[in-house]
Structure 1
Amino acid sequence: MTMQPESTSLGDLFCRRIPFKVPKYQRAFDWEQEEIDDFIKDLLVLYNARQNNSHQPRKHFFGGLVSIKQHIPNSYTGNLYDLVDGQQRLATFTLTIASLIRTFESLAREAEIEKDIDTSQTAKSYASTTKSEYLEYKEVVNSQLQPRLRLTLSKADRLFFEDLVNSRNPKATRDSHKKLQAAWESINKKLIGKVLNDIPNSSTAQKLNNLLNLRKSVIEDCYVIYIVSEDRSEAYRLFAVLNDRGRELSDGNKLRSDTLELLEKHERQQQLAENNWDKILSYPAQENKQNLQQRRSKLLKMAKKIFTV
């Protein structure tokens, strides 16, 4: 099937194309602080444009995303989108949306204490609608609708990411967790904090207005080229082309991805390989080189044996 590229805002993407899932063989979250800071600077440019002239907002292009569409019978949405390329951006956007929701809830409580009922109700309403439209969706579980995140990361980061988004203060046990934690803290401090304190001594109502402009900037002014395919091979060919120009994967992440992709149709062996790689990549960086040398040969031999049977 031919790929279907489209230019879409982030908000429209999250509303129409759900849920997104990062396949288990994709690398874990890997954005460094420099990339998070660049992301925040881009959003602040969009926010300032709206503050200066709400009738002429700026738009910013955040690159391309590639996913594989799967039809999932008996699910509430009917589809699942395996995210082949774009995990880092969508994960960071999801953290931003979660931070917006948490701050709306905080402003609602603040306004309620100040007896500003209108501001409190408005903040509560935006917290609720932002969560239901952009962060979560409903899935049927045991004949009941249950909330699920619109983006699920790969196994190594999935639970940590869910706990982080839901403000459960998870404990980081691997490098990718620390990077997610750093991204979350930077978004709250350098983006949300800056927006709330944009006007010195501002009232809760003014803070809410600033936050609403930031919400519009995230939802309406951030654009991507989204490419969806139902052909796995086609999607991976495009992924390889796009990442030729991107930041090179670490040796460990590259080997992990290649090994698990080779084992895609061999579930038991893939699970064993996945467990090995997750253990290796959870070690501190100075230990990884030795462990990679010891285990990568074993893992790749496993894959080679399967394909020569």
Structure 2
Amino acid sequence: MSGLLNASATQAGALVSNNRFEVPQFQREYSWEDDQVSEFWSDLRNNLETGEYFLGLVILTEENGIKQVVDGQQRLVTLTLLATALQYEAMALGRKALALRIEADFMKSVNYETDEKEPRVFLSDPDDNKTLQVILNTGEGPADELLDDSVSFRIARSYNFLRSKLKEDLKADPFRRLGKWTEFITDQLYFAVFIHPDAASAYQVFEVVNTRGRELTTADLLKNYLLSQFPNSERAERYEQWRNLAKPFSQDGSNSTFVQFIRHVVTVHSGHVLPKDLFNFLANRRGQSGKTPPSPPELMAMLEERFPIYRQMMDPTSSGPAEPHQLRVFAALNSLNIITVRPILLALHDVDQTHQGLDYLLRLVVRRVVVGNLGTGNIERRFSEAARKVSETGEWNILHRELSDLDHTRDEFIEQLRKRSFNKNILGFMRQSAILHSMTPEPKGVLHFVWPRNAGTWTGFSDEDGYWASTLGNTILAEERTRPKEASINWNGFKEHLLRKAIAEENRPRFERAGDWNVQQIEELGRIMAEQAADVWF
């Protein structure tokens, strides 16, 4: 990488007008938001009168006469959008010669063999490139038709921002300002340009350069690495395969859920891999004792195979290969917000007695949630290694041998469930399972606390009693989603305005017989509910 020191300063007009540029698949997508585009515009606008301005380093390789943009995509694409806005403003003002010059220098080149105009900058992703080319060909950004979180939307939004700012800037003296802007971006903007001599190493160059600045996500690194391991003839197909796998995971606004899916699939094959080690493990850069990563073709095949069932783990209402009992277990684990056992769920999908394995796992998880916890790294490691062994042997009962020491007794379960504070997700699930006598209860009713701790008007509770507010005995399932204000004032208000809305399976007489509500009542109901739950889970 020492050759980067020999990058040459090149005028933007000279660089763009003499080349065509492709942003390859391994690059990040266009990611500039309003702040970055605004800063780009302000920097150029503030230096328009003073002269030269340095736009930074661009790293390129070359394949088949096309420059591949290894680093500098965001600035190069944004400059193209600004040039497009300038060209269409020049056309609107009747400056045809100026418009043609901008088009030739920054937007279109002529293919001398076919006499066709070809874009100087294009993107590998077909949808995003279509948006960019529509803007270049029409001067209009199709933002209203695009999803807010899409790359195409960001491209269109950046163009609309620059076009709006340019229109405002041109108002005072449009003829002179158009000429000034064209001269500035053509002759007074400079890139430091480094053309890497070895196109095959572009993926490695991308990784090194980008990890110096804003850190690449694990998904970026994995895409970069995997595509680099396939021959050129396969990369377009593999990029589309990767894109189709990643797309359903993008709803959370990041790549973290997609990376989690990859790690869970790898876990079934290779055992436990820490999130921070996933890329280095798959790229075979940091060996883990006794573990061999899947090859890139193997990994892509594994992801394709596991995706349908994993999608149902995340959303049991989606279609896929899972049986009804599997879907109920997935829904139960989601109610408890349990994700760490997903590698085991993947492994159990392949065994003959999936049903028995799922029931054992769900019992173990619920008992552990009630009595202990699942939040330690060691427990995740244990689950991961158990998943690998289930996958290797095809036997679900490996789980009993590997994980039985994490289990708890019925007495421990009852003791903790009756008195321990839990979050609403756990309390709601445990109350539903006890009342409906099911390990996989259909969600029914909304959990409410009988005594809301923040209601200062209730009698019979001291400050020290606040611990009991979030225990099982102080809960009820009701059809009412939002608690009526009157139900929070006192015990009588609760009975009048919330108890009558309790689901049919709730034992209303038990509440009605209570002359008052206090810690003793909470403890007693907690004990009864804990024993009912134990009948389900043991």
Q: Tell me the TM-score normalised to structure 1 length.
A: 0.75
Could you tell me how far apart the structure 2 residues matched to 1:136 and 1:96 are? 14
Contact 2:141 / 2:159 at 8 angstroms: preserved in 1? Answer: no
Shift of 1:273: 4.9
Which has the bigger relative contact order, CA under 8 A and spacing at least 6?
Answer: 1
User: Residues 141 and 160 of structure 2 are in contact (CA less than 8 Å); yes or no, is this contact kept in structure 1?
Assistant: no
Q: Secondary structure at the match of 1:284?
A: helix
Question: Where do residues 87-166 of structure 1 align in structure 2 (5 Å cutoff)?
Answer: 87-108=73-94, 123-139=95-111, 144-156=114-126, 157-166=128-137
Give the corresponding residue for 1:25: 26
Q: Find the partner of 1:221 among 188, 211, 222.
A: 188
1:189 paired to 2:159: no
Q: What is the TM-score when the length of structure 2 is the normalising length?
A: 0.45
User: Which one has a bigger Cα radius of gyration?
Assistant: 2
- Report what 2:237 is aligned to: 271
Aligned-partner Cα distance in 1 for 2:263–2:164:
40
2:257 to 278, 286, 290: 290
- How far apart, in 2, do the equivalents of 1:154 and 1:219 lie? 26
Alpha-carbon separation, structure 1, partners of 2:223 and 2:180: 41
Structure 1 position 61 matched with structure 2 position 54: yes
Q: CA deviation at 1:66?
A: 0.7
Post-superposition CA distance 1:147-197 (Å, at most 9, x none): 11111112152112111222355443552112112211110112x123112
Segments of 4+ moved more than 6 angstroms: none
Counterpart secondary structure, 2:40: helix
Shift of 1:130: 1.2
**Percent of residue pairs bearing the same amino acid type:** 22
SS of 1:166 mapped into structure 2: helix
Deviations 1:208-256 (A, max 9, x none): 2111111122112211110012313555555444323322234433332
1:178 is matched with which residue? Answer: 153
Residues 279 and 100 (structure 1 numbering): CA distance in 2 closer, same or farther, change over 3 Å? farther
Matched residue, 2:178: 211
Contact 1:195 1:211 in 2 (8 A): no
SS in 1 for 2:93: helix
Give matches, 1:45-60, under 5 Å.
45-47=46-48, 49=49, 57-60=50-53
Alpha-carbon distance change, 19 to 91 in structure 1, aligned in 2, over 3 angstroms: same
d(CA) in 2 for partners of 1:235, 1:302: 20
The number of residue pairs the alignment matches comes to 266
Evaluate the alpha carbon distance shift between residue 281 and residue 29 of structure 1 in structure 2; reply closer, same or farther with a 3 A threshold.
farther
Change (3 A) 1:7 1:266: closer
* Larger mean Cα displacement after TM superposition, 245-254 or 30-39: 245-254
Could you tell me how far 1:103 is from its partner in structure 2? 0.6
- The farther-off stretch of 58-67 and 235-244 is 235-244
Contact 2:131–2:152 under 8 Å retained in 1: yes
Partner residue of 2:210?
A: 243
Aligned: 1:230 with 2:197: yes
- Secondary structure of 1:217's match? helix
Distance in 1 (CA, whole Å) between partners of 2:191 and 2:209 is 14
Matched-pair contact (CA < 8 Å) for 2:223–2:242 = no
Match of 1:214, SS state, is helix
Letter in 2 for 1:41: S
Number of the residue aligned with 1:117 = none
Are the aligned partners of 1:20 and 1:152 in contact in 2 as well (CA < 8 Å)?
A: yes
Q: Which has the higher strand share?
A: 1
